[in-house]
Amino acid sequence: MSESTTQHLPARRYGPEPTARRKRSIVVGLAVGGAVATALGIWIGIGVLQDPVQWKDVGFSVEGPERIDVTFDVIKDPAATAECTVHALNQGFAEVGLARVTVGPGTTRIHRETVPVATQELAVTGLVETCAIVADAD
């Protein structure tokens, strides 16, 4: 057996030998990339938290071919007023009913609403398309 048991890779077979400067460049590049990814995540998170109104579909009840009741939660500042658009969809995902509802102001941040939506034919689902804060009519 030889005195040296370390094996060396064939010269230049896997590219040039890494230098200390190249290793530092890789470490710095990874650190900068990580910092940018962290900053982007924080920015997106703050944007979501600053959304003035959010909603969550809770459920629906088909009351027949002419009506569906849609239940949803609206999360907003208790003093604010929001307007939500609720859709009823048929089996082919076509809109068969539409309702707009005003939510608030209230005493709590989360409001649960159940809205009856008149339909032109049997709806198989109902959901909130959008909610937006409306300006006060002072």
C-beta atoms surrounding 103 within 10 Å:
23
**Token pair 């937006």: residue:** 132
Same domain, 91 and 115: yes
User: What is the rounded CA–CA span in Å between residue 128 and residue 82?
Assistant: 13
Q: Could you tell me if residue 2 is inside a domain? A: no
What value, to the nearest 5°, has the Cα angle with vertex 127 and ends 86 and 114? 70
pLDDT at 116 over 80: yes
Q: Which residue has the higher pLDDT, 39 or 116?
A: 116
In this prediction, residue 136 carries a pLDDT of 61
Same domain, 43 and 73: no
Using only C-alpha atoms, the chain has a radius of gyration, in whole angstroms, of 29
Residues 6+ apart with CB under 8 A from 12: none
Write out the residue range of the structural domain in which residue 17 sits. 7-50
Q: Could you tell me if residue 31 is inside a domain? A: yes
Same domain, 59 and 125: yes
In this prediction, residue 5 carries a pLDDT of 61
pLDDT at 119 over 90: yes
Same domain, 32 and 68: no
- CB-CB contact of 84 with 76 (8 Å): no
DSSP characters over 103-120: E---SSSEEEEEEEEE-S
Looking up residue 126, the CATH number of its domain turns out to be 2.60.40
In this prediction, residue 87 carries a pLDDT of 94
Tokens of 105: 């102001």
Q: What is the pLDDT of residues 24-81, one digit of tens each?
A: 888 888 888 888 888 888 877 766 566 788 999 999 999 989 999 999 999 998 888 9
The pTM for the full model equals 0.62
**What is each CA distance from 97 to 40, 88, 89, 93, 122, in whole angstroms?**
39, 5, 7, 11, 10
Helices (H), the chain: 20-49
Domain count, the chain: 2
Same domain, 14 and 65: no
Same domain, 43 and 25: yes
Q: Torsions phi, psi of 131, nearest 5?
A: -135, 145
Average pLDDT over residues 7-16: 68
